[in-house]
Structure 1
Amino acid sequence: KGAQAKAYAVMQKQHKRFKEIEAELKNWQTQIDRLDKLQSVCKGNTFVEFLAEEQLESVARDASARLGALTRQRYAILVDSEGGFVMRDDANGGVKRPVSSLSGGETFLTSLSLALALSAQIQLRGQYPLQFFFLDEGFGTLDQGLLDTVVTALEKLQSDNLSVGVISHVQELRARLPKKLIVHPSEPGGKGTRVTLEIM
């Protein structure tokens, strides 16, 4: 009886230790699974591609919010499975359509939204943010209503610690800008190129 009791006590002790080891093994297995996943992600360019996909999704979300504000929530920008952009037409039941189906003005607004989102991702998150964005032309494709929408959006950006420079020959747009640098081309055999400042 005494021998059996002693054997039972040893068995209980070993069982307790077995439970502790089993719990520790489960914990280590979780760590091993994470390391295995990390190793598979870091093979070749997989990790870089993963980060690029995450960054692209982030830019698309930001651009989509800006485009929604410009189009009265009609359009949204999505990233498809191949890493390209597609449009979601919320005014047409949320149907997805290729970017090639957009009109000239809609393409301009989409490009503007993506450019602003990308600029915000790159320029405004560094240690020394540039806080400046240059927009070159494209306004000639806009009708008066879209032009007003874009200029209003650009005016709002000015209050977001971001200065926007616009290069344009469109008279209606130039009339809306409070500060202008006018570039006067050089004259044959005369003065060289001149730049003057005009403030409304």
Structure 2
Amino acid sequence: LAELESRFKEKEALIKDLRDSIAGLNHRLQENRAAKERVKQRQADIEAQKKECQRWESLHALIGSADGKKYRNFAQGLTFELMVSHANRQLSKMTDRYLLIRDEQQPLELNVIDNYQAGEIRSTRNLSGGESFIVSLTLALGLSRMASRKVRVDSLFLDEGFGTLDEDALETALETLAGLQKGGKLIGIISHVPALKERISSQIAITPLSGGKSAIVGPGCSRVTGSG
């Protein structure tokens, strides 16, 4: 009996040790689960920070620079894109040959798609005088359209350029300007092209005189004499 009691106590002690070990393991398992949850949360936080970092890196790549040049170019590019859009609307009224697009390498430079040359993309630097005049006119009209959102633009003055146009281009340009005049805009043209004299009713003529002087004749012009 004494031997059985001794063995019983040994087994009880062993069971107690095993229970203590199990309790310790359960505690470690709970700590491990909690640690895994913390790691999972931190990984989620890291992924969120990575996405935020990527967003700022993309923004930096787009407009970030120490001197602010990238941002200026980006902002100017948005305005330039809008102006080109307005200019193309005016250009489509004048001819179906050209379409203005931004240069892919130089976003603030212009190219022209020539639909009469199988859609060839040409630099505006390679345009003829007449083509350059039409493009410049449409850009000016597009710019005035943008400005008119906040400031009313009622006047447009053109200095030369008509002499480089062929007969058809000249006719198209004059029709466009006539349409603007009917829309309430004041159009002023400075030119030596004789054909314009036949198309423009209100004219101010400047006639050179001797002694480096000139005479101005036309509506609203009067001779000014100096008082002694």
What's the TM-score, normalizing by structure 1? Answer: 0.70
1:2-13 alignment runs, 5 A limit: 2-13=23-34
Question: Which residue type is aligned with residue 46 of structure 1?
Answer: K
1:41-80 alignment runs, 5 A limit: 41-44=64-67, 45-71=69-95, 73-80=96-103
State the match for 1:31 in structure 2. Answer: 52
Identical positions, percent: 28
Alpha carbon RMSD of aligned pairs, Å? 3.6
Q: Does 1:107 align with 2:129?
A: no
Question: Which residue type is aligned with residue 35 of structure 2?
Answer: Q
Question: Which residue type is aligned with residue 135 of structure 2?
Answer: T
Which consecutive unaligned segments of at least 5 residues does structure 1 have? none
State the match for 1:96 in structure 2. Answer: 121
Segment of structure 1 superposing worse, 23-32 or 55-64: 55-64
Which consecutive unaligned segments of at least 5 residues does structure 2 have? 1-21, 221-228
SS in 2 for 1:196: coil
State the match for 2:161 in structure 1. Answer: 138
Alpha-carbon distance between aligned partners in 2 of 1:106 and 1:43, rounded to the nearest angstrom: 39
Larger radius of gyration: 2
Instruction: State the shift of 1:94 in Å.
Output: 0.8
Instruction: State the shift of 1:153 in Å.
Output: 1.8
SS in 1 for 2:151: coil
1:120-131 alignment runs, 5 A limit: 120-121=145-146, 123-125=147-149, 127-131=150-154
Over 3 Å counting, the alpha-carbon distance change for 1:12 and 1:196 in structure 2 is same
Alpha-carbon distance between aligned partners in 1 of 2:50 and 2:183, rounded to the nearest angstrom: 48
Question: Which residue type is aligned with residue 92 of structure 1?
Answer: Q
Which residue of 30, 39, 43 corresponds with 1:18?
A: 39
How many pairs are equivalent?
A: 193
Instruction: State the shift of 1:109 in Å.
Output: 1.0
State the match for 1:182 in structure 2. Answer: 204
State the match for 2:17 in structure 1. Answer: none
Contact 2:110 / 2:124 at 8 angstroms: preserved in 1?
yes
Question: Which residue type is aligned with residue 29 of structure 1?
Answer: K
SS in 1 for 2:66: coil
Instruction: State the shift of 1:143 in Å.
Output: 3.2
Over 3 Å counting, the alpha-carbon distance change for 1:160 and 1:16 in structure 2 is farther
Alpha-carbon distance between aligned partners in 2 of 1:29 and 1:129, rounded to the nearest angstrom: 48
Segment of structure 1 superposing worse, 96-105 or 148-157: 96-105
What's the TM-score, normalizing by structure 2? Answer: 0.64
Over 3 Å counting, the alpha-carbon distance change for 1:58 and 1:141 in structure 2 is same
Contact 1:65 / 1:76 at 8 angstroms: preserved in 2?
no
